[in-house]
Structure 1
């Protein structure tokens, strides 16, 4: 019998992709937890053990984690309050007898200026202090993230940012999911940290050239001070916490947090990550209209 594998946050986009990968790889003993288990009905029909779990309601976690041996904690979307949520999940995992934790983090989490890095490094510390073995997946920015800004930028003809010449090895969410599934099913129980990147390192100048080429519409990049970018994001209606997230993403690119392509996707999934231009071509329609990311 294969070990019982548990995926938290399984109803989200990454979580569902991980489940699909595990099923494709022939895994049978899969547990999927979520606050929104109705979104996992299709997986329940495929034999996945679907359970309700809320990291803020610790009383839900004992039953949710029961029997799991290897656990994937997909970092929650509650930016600003994630550490306590993750702390509850780690404690419940240890109590349930989980042997190995896989966690989705951020590149150079210990030194990055990205707003999200503090919560990630604090979670990594909690995992290391738990006594359980672990695999940390420091996921680079999703290629899909560009769709938050590119449709409007194409309308204006200009993409604004504050990343300077900072390069990003964008990785697709699908490649992150395959890497996470690979980490979860690994036989070893040793401590490892992987930088999960794409294979093409590009800065914003190179990005707009590729977008222009694929879309057929002219697009230029204009680098502006971080204060001006934040003001523009606030004016567009973004809450301040999210404006800070996006501005500091750019600053982390400028600082070189995401400039190194790695072979982690290949090691964990068995195939090379998708190229950025190939990703754009496959998602050409999304360049023109914002979509659910």
Structure 2
């Protein structure tokens, strides 16, 4: 009796698609040199970093098949559908008036926060970033806020009385990251470490030096136990929420680690990545 699949080539089972890729990401190998990053004004040059950084090859899993299982309070990142009415993400006024309002509504929807303050955004591109006054994808394993800089940023943004009242209750900082191109991302996707695999020693304080101020971020120290994930081929109607700070110390995820990386499955003529991240504080009653 002939094999049914042989008789119908269209029914042949395709080999399984790899659910992970291997790629180098840049960690701190150790703390023999205090990490410091010097950030020039946008469009004037590249950031200069001090620290014992090294590339480590990690396995980065496609999280799309189990995206519905992810949680901001466990993994510290989630993928959501999020339509935008934005016409031009390079129009600063439109981003501040229209997109900030969209991000505020999204974070309220996903977290239940009573108040959301969107305070910053950054457009990044892998194509002629400096000459366009934009920033490039960040290729080091990091988290945007620390135990100290999270509350300090609230004090910087809100009137003193309101800031102290808000700091007495739970608050969290979220980044909302999205592709701003009309085609899916092919180059330099963003990878995320599952927060449940991060140990306290993996978070190293790094001074972030600007022309007018100095802040703090965490740089990731290499840990072979880190579980990496990403969402390949992100489209313009998707967004990733990343929790970078949570004041509540009840066992939930408080910090995260993430980095851009070179996807080995990207086509040779990949479209340069274009993305935006908006930063916001969520306050809870």
**TM-score bracket for this pair, using the shorter chain length:** under 0.3
Which has the higher Rg, Structure 1 or Structure 2? 2
Which protein has the bigger strand share? 2
Higher relative contact order (CA 8 A, sep 6+): 2
Using the size of structure 1 for normalisation, the TM-score is 0.26
Higher helix share: 1
* TM-score with structure 2 setting the length: 0.26
